[in-house]
Amino acid sequence: MRIDCPLCGARDRREFSVLGDAAMAVRPEVGADTQTWSDWLHLRDNTAGRLRELWYHEGGCAAWLVVERDTVSHAVHGVSLVGASDAD
């Protein structure tokens, strides 16, 4: 599996570590109730198919990336830097 880092180019999967579903980047409002926070922290769509994930280019430029990847085939469809639209 290779991931095409927007800053470094295509690199081996070994250079990256993964956090999980990119939905994690959007936190609930400050002051949201505990159920909302718990759902955000624990519940997942756990998609079988194309999924947007947060990856960290640990062995490269240290950028956080949004990788769109197929969890059934492992194909990588798109990589971008985590942007303002992804995170609060």
CA distance 3 to 29: 32
Residue number with CB closer to other proteins (46 or 85)? 46
Residue 43 to residues 1, 10, 15, Cα–Cα distance (Å)? 27, 32, 28
Contact positions vs other proteins (CB under 8 A): 1, 12-14, 17-21, 34-35, 38-39, 41-48, 51, 53, 69, 71-74
Residue number with CB closer to other proteins (36 or 84)? 36
Tokens of 51: 């999924």
- Distance, C-alpha 45 to centroid of its chain: 14
In whole angstroms, the minimum distance from the beta carbon of 39 to other proteins comes to 7
Residue number with CB closer to other proteins (44 or 77)? 44
Q: What is the residue whose two structure tokens read 């922290």? A: 41
In whole angstroms, the minimum distance from the beta carbon of 28 to other proteins comes to 14
